[in-house]
Each structure stands twice: as structure tokens, then as C-alpha cells.
Structure 1
Amino acid sequence: MGMSYAYDPHGRDDTASIAAVHRALDLSADLIDTADVYGPHTNEELVGRALAGRREKAFVATKVGFVPGETRLRKDGRPEHIRAAVDASLRRLGTDRIDLYQLHRVDPEVPLEESWGAMAETVRAGKVRALGLSDVTVEQIRTAQAVHPVAAVQAEISLWTRDSLAELVPFTARESIAVLAYSPLGRGFLTGRFASSEDLPADDYRLVNPRFQPENLVANLPLADAVRKVADGRGVAPSQIALAWVLAQGDHIVAIPGTKNARYVEENTAAAELRLTREETALLDALPAPAGARQ
């Protein structure tokens, strides 16, 4: 997302972003997650260019269910929208199949069974290999499963967003459903890069995020400091500690940190080999809840 949308949208560098995707594939970090609304549409096009000649090395995941509105994104889970959107995504991605097609959000105006039924049609048509959901409840997963298998669920999981650990993560483990943990670095905050809201680029989405508001951001600095202390003790980057903690929450959890820099791709990927000690885990588990709602 951050390559084309929301995070420093005026700082786009497609050449660097494509190099980051290539480096990820070289390191066997092959899950490339995007959405039709990122840009809108331009991120799928960027991914398509990045995967030209390398498509077989990548597991491509994209999403449907949001459309641009006059002032903010609007949910659209109508079957006719999904049927048209999958063909548009295939065209922009330059591929004949999507490995994981995800319903970005459940549309409250459309029964989930209808949206999910249209998603299932894309699998039967050979356009999609598997289906996923994003930001849903356990009950919504059960509803979808009654129509078609749920392969994966996206949820925000990080050291400052732990809501899903109580019910969703155990449920998905029992059901053999993968969890894609988005924003595992706390939208970049847990890397220690932001000491104040002035450190954020102009027009960056995080400037309106409650946790990045000046008073909340200052109140949350001790969380980033604690992660940095653990990282310093191990001689690694704070991002690697934050990612290792997320991965330790379950064997079925896949962290999907975003970056547009090949160096950070290398740093993030190395976190998969990092194992936290019992003492480090206890310290991180005891961190207080952050100030501010997550979005």
C-alpha cells in the first residue's frame, strides 16, 4: 500500500518500489499483498510491472470491497461489483490468476453470503485460487465458511494492536485458516522513526490516525523505547523484534510489513529467523495498551 497510497503519497518512487519487490522475491518472501483501491488502481499496476517475467515466483494477493468516495473510501460488496473488479484486477496485475482474493471489508448493505458467493464464483471460473477476508469477526468467518472455504483472514496485529489475539487467532488456528497480520510494525511507529507528528510527511494518512495525534504519539513513545531496548540488547533492529513478536503468536500467522526500500525488505525478512527469549517475550507482553484508537 505504502508504495502508492496513504503513506507519503507524494514521495512515490516506482523504481525503488519495484527493486524492493524484486529483492523480496530473491529472498523467497513471495507473498505480495495489494488491493484495487490502493492508488486507486495504481498499486496493482505497479505490482504487475514488478512481477513481469517473475510471476511464477510470487504468491499474489489482492482485495476487493472498497471504492473511492467523494471524501473517503466507501464499502461495496455487491456481487456485480466483485464480478467486474476481479477482471479489472487481473488486467492491472498482468496475470491470469490471483492466488488469494480477499474481501477488503464486509459491506453492511449487502448480506455477506451474497458477497462471498460472488467471490466463490471467481474460484469456480479459474480466475482465483483461494479466498480471504479482512477485518472480520469470528461469526462472519463462520458465515463465509458455510458458503465457501476461507483460506486466510487479514487482521491488524502488532505490539500495539492485540485485539485479535483473544478470539480470532485461536479460532483460525483451530480451523487451519492463515492469518495475515497487517501493520505489524504499528504503521511504522514501532521502528522508532517517529518522535513527533512533525516527523511524518505532509499528506501522510497517519497524520489523521488517532495514535499519531501529537498528545497520543508522545504518550506512546515508551512503547517504541521498550522495543528499541530489547533490540539493542540483541544487536538487531527494532522492526525485527516487533516482527518476531508477531510471528511468535502462532505458526499460522504471516506478517506482511510494508516497505518501499530494498534495505528494509532485507531487514524485515531476517526477522523470520529471530527467536525471542522467555524474558524478552514477557517484557513485550507486559507493554501497556497504546493511547488512541487504532484508526
Structure 2
Amino acid sequence: MTMPVRKLGPTGLSVGEIGMGCMPLSLNSRPPEEDGIKTIHAALEQGITLFDTADAYCLNSTENGHNERLLAKALKNRPDAIVATKGGHIRPDGRWDTDGRPEHLREACEDSLRSLGVEAITLYQFHRPDPKVPFAESVGAVAELQREGKVVHVGLSNVSVAQLEEARKIVNVASVQNRMNLFDHSSMDVMKRCEELGIAFLPYSPLNGMSNAGGIGSNETLSRIAGKHNASPQQIAIAWLLQLSPVILPIPGASKAVNIVNCAGASNVKLTAEDAAELGGIAAQATA
């Protein structure tokens, strides 16, 4: 199956306009490895070519790189697939802590190279600013990895506009990955700045997070518009993001093949301007 493509920021690469967030394949509720690989293959069959992962997508620090190794196995002999990974989170005893020290990011990148079985990571994203480490030092460490040829393109995650601008003084930023969806517009200013700069914006949790994705149809506006288009609420939520900006590449997470196939179907949904305006008001309703 073919899917419309979009530019991955200024990288010169094009990917399917919907990507896949692979985190659910490695956390507590993860499926057996065989089923996880089937889910990744189902995504490929739908035209998805961008797969988002991180070294920290695992149960705890004893199995760092679990998700990366799973992707490497599933995407073997698929040169059309692009893997974006991240470093800067650690999982001691299953917690989500940050470590933005340059020495940690270097070690994390080396580990990711081994887990993915590649000589260079196509897109390496600094996972989250560490309040204990100056942001410029962390970004500088990733820029150094790029100069050494271990990283091809550099991205950021969970950043503000000010942090994006600070990073741009240090390295060419290819992408920003922040949380954004119908119910959460907190990164709208970052997305708009990315649009101005031609930087790819990868909204994670495009269905309002793993625990909420299945129930978003309980929103009356979303459910009504889904019915009008004979589409699922999940497809409408992703279609809204796609129509919001040409730099947006949603990365819905999935642990089952049926769910990523459903999400990929958003490419076939064309919302009217009235639909988009109504859907855009959901976040204000949720806040109220």
C-alpha cells in the first residue's frame, strides 16, 4: 500500500506522512516479540517508513535498547525504513529520569549504534532537557557525535521555542518531537516555529497518550465528525494533525497490528475547514 510522503525536515529524506511510535512494544504491557515484529511489518505494509524509538524504551535499565533491538530485527533488509532514536532518558528501577551529561549521551549513542546494528544513526534526538545539565552542553555533545559521523541528523524532543533557538546556534536541527494532539495544544508555538524554519515536527501521543487512545471517541465532537467521514475517531485525530501543517509527521504508538493499520487509514481522510475548526476547539473544552 502506498501512503503520501512528506519531507523529514531539511534532511533531504522523505517518509510516509504517518510514522509509528514504537514505545508500546517494549513497556509493561508489551506483546510477545513475534507479535511486535508483526505489528512493525503491518506498519510497513501500510506505507509507514518512519519508526520512532529510544534507548529508554524498555522495562528498566537492565534491558536498555530493547525497542531498538526489536526494530533492528523487524526492519532487517528494509533500507526504505528510517529509524529515529533518542538518548537522554535513563530507566533506573523502571523510573523515567534524565541524564543529559555529554559523557552519558556519548555512551548512549554508542549503545544505540550497537542495538540498531548501524554505523550511523539517521536521526538522533536529544530526548529531554536535563535540569541538572546546561542545555547547550547536552546539545553540543550530540553535535560532536554528528561531526564524528555517528549521527547523520540531529533532532530535539520535549523542548520550548527558546530551547529550539538555543540549539539552532549549535547544530542544524532537523526535527522536534513534542507532545501534541486534539486535547493538548501546549506545543503549538513550537510547531509554528518549526513550520517557519522548515523543521519536521513529530507530535507524540497524537491520540492523547497510550491510556487514553482507545477512548477518545467519547468526545462528542470527535465522534460526530468521525461518523460523518465513516472513519474511526483515531483516524480523525491524526487527520487533524496532518492538515494542521505540512511539517507535521504524527507518530501514533501501537502494540497491535490492527491499531497501526487503523491509524494509517488517517491518510485517506480529508477534513473540511469547518471540521478542522470544530476539532481545533476540543482542547479549549478539555481545559475548561
Per-residue Cα deviation, 1:167-213 (whole angstroms, up to 9, x for no partner) = 2121111111110010101125665x34xxxxxxxxxxxxxxxxxxx
Per-residue Cα deviation, 1:114-159 (whole angstroms, up to 9, x for no partner) = 1111101221121211011111111111111111111100111111
Residue 61 (1) aligns with residue 84 (2): yes
Q: C-alpha separation between the residues in 1 aligned to 2:168 and 2:249?
A: 21
Matches within 5 A, 1:158-173: 158-165=181-188, 167-173=189-195
| Aligned counterpart, 1:183 | 205
Q: C-alpha separation between the residues in 1 aligned to 2:42 and 2:144?
A: 34
1:265 deviation in Å? 2.1
Worse overlay, 236-245 or 17-26: 17-26
Secondary structure of the equivalent of 1:255? coil
| Aligned counterpart, 2:38 | 19
Q: Is the 8 A contact 2:122 2:153 kept in 1?
A: yes
Q: C-alpha separation between the residues in 1 aligned to 2:47 and 2:250?
A: 14
Identity of aligned residues (%): 37
Q: C-alpha separation between the residues in 2 aligned to 1:98 and 1:122?
A: 10
Q: With structure 1 as the length reference, what TM-score do the two structures score?
A: 0.83
Instruction: Classify 1:189/1:158 alpha carbon distance in 2 versus 1 (closer, same or farther; 3 Å).
Output: farther
Instruction: Classify 1:188/1:82 alpha carbon distance in 2 versus 1 (closer, same or farther; 3 Å).
Output: closer
Q: C-alpha separation between the residues in 1 aligned to 2:55 and 2:30?
A: 20
Instruction: Classify 1:120/1:153 alpha carbon distance in 2 versus 1 (closer, same or farther; 3 Å).
Output: same
Q: With structure 2 as the length reference, what TM-score do the two structures score?
A: 0.84
Matches within 5 A, 1:1-295: 1-5=23-27, 9-39=28-58, 40-54=64-78, 56-70=79-93, 72-165=95-188, 167-188=189-210, 191=213, 193-194=214-215, 223=219, 225-287=220-282, 288-290=284-286
Q: Is the 8 A contact 1:190 1:239 kept in 2?
A: no
Q: C-alpha separation between the residues in 1 aligned to 2:115 and 2:128?
A: 21
Q: C-alpha separation between the residues in 1 aligned to 2:169 and 2:255?
A: 38
Q: Is the 8 A contact 1:25 1:57 kept in 2?
A: no
- RMSD, matched Cα: 1.9
Per-residue Cα deviation, 1:204-241 (whole angstroms, up to 9, x for no partner) = xxxxxxxxxxxxxxxx8852x32122111111111110
Q: Which amino acid in structure 2 is aligned with residue 106 of structure 1?
A: P
Instruction: Classify 1:187/1:125 alpha carbon distance in 2 versus 1 (closer, same or farther; 3 Å).
Output: same
Question: What is the number of equivalent residue pairs in this alignment?
Answer: 260
Q: Which has the higher contact order (CA 8 A, sep 6+)?
A: 2
Secondary structure of the equivalent of 2:253? coil
